[in-house]
Amino acid sequence: MATTVQDRYSNAAVALHWLIAVLIFASFPLGWISASLRLSPLKLQLVSYHKWVGVTVFIVAIARLVWRSVSAAPRPLAAPAWQHRAADLVHWSLYALMFALPLTGWIFSSATGVPTVYLGLWQLPDVVGRDRALASVLRSAHEALGWALLALVLAHAAAALKHHFVDRDGLLRRMSF
C-alpha cells in the first residue's frame, strides 16, 4: 500500500515526534534512578539532567502543537469509530502529560528549594517557596503522572505496532521520513 504525501505526517512533525519519544525514554531512567540514589554528586548530576530533559520536552511539546495548528495531521486511517476515539483520547492525553510532567516537576523543584537551572545556564523562577508538605504532595503527583505517561506510551506504541504488523496498513510509514 503506497502512501501519498497527504497520508503521512510532515517531516517536521515526524522529527518532533521522534525527538520527544527519545526525550521521554531518556527522562524515565534519569528520574527513576536519581530518585532512588542516596545523596551524592551522581544523584545531583542525574537530577539536573532529568530536569533539563523535562524542560526540553515542554518546549518541544509546544513546538509540536504550534506545528500541528499550521500543518494538518494526515487523513485518519480507515478504522472503527471506537478506535478513532481511543486514539484521540490517547494522543491528547499524551500531549496533556507532556505539559503536566514538566510543570509538576518544576513546582516540585521549587517546593524542595532546589531551583531548576536549564542546561546549567538559565535559572527558571521559583513558582512557590520552600514547602516540605507541598513538595511531598507534588512528588507523589509527579510520580503518578509519570506512571500514567509510561502506560500511555506503551499503549500508543502497541497500537501502532499492531496496525503496522497485524493489520498491515502501513501506519508506521506515516510517522517516518
Partner 1 sequence: MRCLRDRMKLIPIVLAAALLASSANAQPVDLQRSSIRVTARQMNVPFDGQFRSFTASLAWDDRKPEASKATVEVDLASFDLGEPSFNDEARGKAFLDAARVPRATFTTSSIRTLGSGRYEATGKLGIKGVTRDVTVPFSIREDGGRRIFEASLPLKRLDYGIGEGEWSDTKTLANETMIQVRLVTNAGR
Chain positions contacting partner 1, by CB under 8 A:
39-42, 44-45, 47-48, 112-117, 120-121, 123, 130, 132
The whole-angstrom separation of Cα 172 and Cα 54 is 26
Nearer of residues 10 and 112 to partner 1, judged by Cβ:
112
The whole-angstrom separation of Cα 142 and Cα 156 is 21
Nearer of residues 57 and 135 to partner 1, judged by Cβ:
135
Instruction: State the minimum distance, in angstroms, from the CB of residue 116 to partner 1.
Output: 8
What is the H or E stretch that residue 102 is in? helix 81-112
Least Cα distance to 111 among 88, 91, 86, 129 occurs for 129
Instruction: State the minimum distance, in angstroms, from the CB of residue 46 to partner 1.
Output: 10
Nearer of residues 56 and 116 to partner 1, judged by Cβ:
116
Angle made by CA atoms 87, 92, 93, in degrees to the nearest 5: 95
Instruction: State the minimum distance, in angstroms, from the CB of residue 140 to partner 1.
Output: 17
